[in-house]
């Protein structure tokens, strides 16, 4: 995952595009130009456990062994090369999902290249 994402289409458009049902009718999806991972928004997901449903999951991995939710900010990104080594990711490698998005991105620090 990245720290920022964008999804500008409605839940109805997602249902039509991916031919899925809405799993959580109580949740009201609001498309947006920008979502910050650090606020852990609920995002639409098509998971391998219910491939015919559009579900809403909170952005960020919460390891089962974590004692408090603050660890979730440290699991927003993962390097493919070290996934099998990190305790946070080891037990979830077989859980797959589709995260519809217009884009995933990181902000470029304008001062980083001027020094």
pTM score, two decimals?
A: 0.75
Q: Nearest-CA neighbor of 97 among 52, 47, 23?
A: 47
Q: Is 75 strand, coil or helix?
A: helix
Structure tokens at 69: 């939710």
**2 counts as catalytic:** yes
pLDDT for the residue 111: 53
Determine which one of 13, 58, 97, 106 is catalytic.
106
Count structural domains, the chain: 1
CA distance linking residue 55 with residue 45, whole number of Å: 5
Domain assignment present for residue 115? The answer is: no
Domain assignment present for residue 110? The answer is: no
Domain assignment present for residue 19? The answer is: yes
- pLDDT level of residue 85 (50, 70, 90 thresholds): confident
Q: What is the pLDDT of residues 1-60, one digit of tens each?
A: 567 889 999 888 998 999 999 876 667 888 888 888 888 888 899 999 899 999 998 887
CATH number for the domain including 23?
3.90.1680.10
CA distance linking residue 94 with residue 75, whole number of Å: 17
**97 counts as catalytic:** no
Structure tokens at 11: 């839940």
Determine which one of 2, 13, 34, 97 is catalytic.
2
Q: Which domain holds residue 9?
A: 4-105
pLDDT for the residue 64: 76
Q: How many CB atoms lie within 10 A of CB 72?
A: 19
pLDDT for the residue 63: 77
């Amino acid at each position: 995952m990245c720290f920022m994402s964008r999804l500008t289409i409605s839940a109805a458009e997602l249902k039509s595009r991916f031919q899925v049902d809405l799993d959580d009718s109580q949740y009201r999806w609001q498309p947006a130009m920008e979502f910050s991972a650090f606020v852990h928004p609920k995002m639409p997901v098509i998971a391998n456990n219910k491939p015919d449903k559009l579900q809403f999951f909170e952005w960020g991995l919460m390891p089962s062994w974590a004692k408090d939710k603050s660890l979730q900010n440290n699991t927003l990104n993962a390097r493919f090369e070290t996934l099998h080594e990190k305790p946070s990711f080891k037990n979830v490698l077989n859980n797959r999902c589709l995260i519809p998005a217009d884009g995933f991105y990181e902000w470029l620090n304008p001062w980083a290249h001027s020094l």
